[in-house]
Amino acid sequence: MWKLFKELHLIGGLARRRSIIPQTNSHTCRVLSSNAQTDSEPFLSYDKDPTPAFMRADVQKLLKSITRLELDKVFRKRSVKDNTVEYRFMTDEQLRRELLHSIEQAQQMLQMPPVVEEQKDSCRVISKDGALKSLSTSKFVFTDITYGLRNSQRSIVVRHPDGTLQEAPYEMRKRLNQIYFPLTGRSVHQPPMFEDANLQRLLEEGKYEFVLDRACVQFEPYEKDYHQITAKVYQHVNESRSFDTLRSTRHFGPFVFFLVWHKLIDDLLLDMVKQDYLRNGIELIVLYSTLHGTAIDDGVKQIALQTQMPSLFDAAEKSIEELKQDEHYLSIIEQFVNGQATKKVQLNLAVQAYREMSAEKLRLAQGIRRMHGES
């Protein structure tokens, strides 16, 4: 009885103080995990901690601007098709306040999931008591269910049949935390949709946002499964060039960060040129320079980091000043393509086609201005 009380006292104190005890090797951690998964095909991972780079103020500003705030997409009905429309009569002031409220609400809905380093499982050995060897053939799991503690601070330990008292592996911790303190929408076991065959079918159907939303609920951002699933989704989006499916969603920022980190921005830059998102293309180039330290003019950085009101309504035609600004953007993009891009031919052809179209629009706009007697 005294030994039981002593053990419970030891377990309760683990949540509040940590001592330095040698840890086991990684092989032992895999053996003790009751939900160990076989290694699947390799995926692109971060070679170092991406958190400091992702959390930088300038990087966050660039990612938010590249995401593009489109109110129609942010507030669309996703689960149930509903064609009902509500009309309101408003004054100009009421319309302005309502629009500002919608922008603020949309920005909250576009809050990006964090990009952090993958957490390693430690499985630290607390003690070894040979007197308890063969006392039972089963493992005993002790969980500190003190109210108010974070799940990451909660002490969960395992007493093995050989008398070893060890910290529980992460998968076991996650299951027990979900049992005692369930989170809405999260399953105790991994949903079948994340199995390779089912996940591949969802990706082929283009349900990228659904998969990413579900991954944010089921996993923590530092879990290996989260990193692996999001990397598969990002690579599939890039290979299929389905950028519009994630644009103006909360996942577009981490997706762009992933592509820039791994130097895979050629297709995205090509898409921006074709869709007339030249300013986003400049921001993408500045983000690439920020993460990889490539040389870029300070003037280009100032252009990209200038605060710009989100374009909520499509303009009928660009002004002459905007068309001239586009030519400056094209020269910056062309310089990057010739120096850093891998798909130079496709990008140069797209830039040339856009330049010819822009020059034609500029001549037309200048002709219309002369006809109206304007200088």
The encoded tokens of residue 97 equal 């306040």
Q: Which of 267, 271, 272 is nearest to 283 (CA)?
A: 272
pLDDT score recorded for residue 213? 96
Which amino acid belongs to residue 79? S
Digit-coded pLDDT (tens) for 74-83? 888 776 666 6
Task: State both tokens at 200.
Answer: 């591949």
179 CB contacts (<8 Å, ≥6 apart)? 188
Amino acid identity at 266: D
d(CA 223, CA 231): 12
pLDDT in tens, 167-178: 999 999 999 999
For residue 125, list its beta bridge partners: 166
* pLDDT score for 307: 77
Query: Which ranges of the chain have pLDDT less than 70?
Result: 1-43, 79-83, 309-316, 374-375
Does residue 310 come out as left (phi exceeding 0), alpha (psi in the -120 to 50 range) or beta?
beta
118 near 45, Cβ under 8 Å? Answer: yes
pTM exceeding 0.85: no
Helix axis angle, 278-292 relative to 252-261, nearest 10°?
50
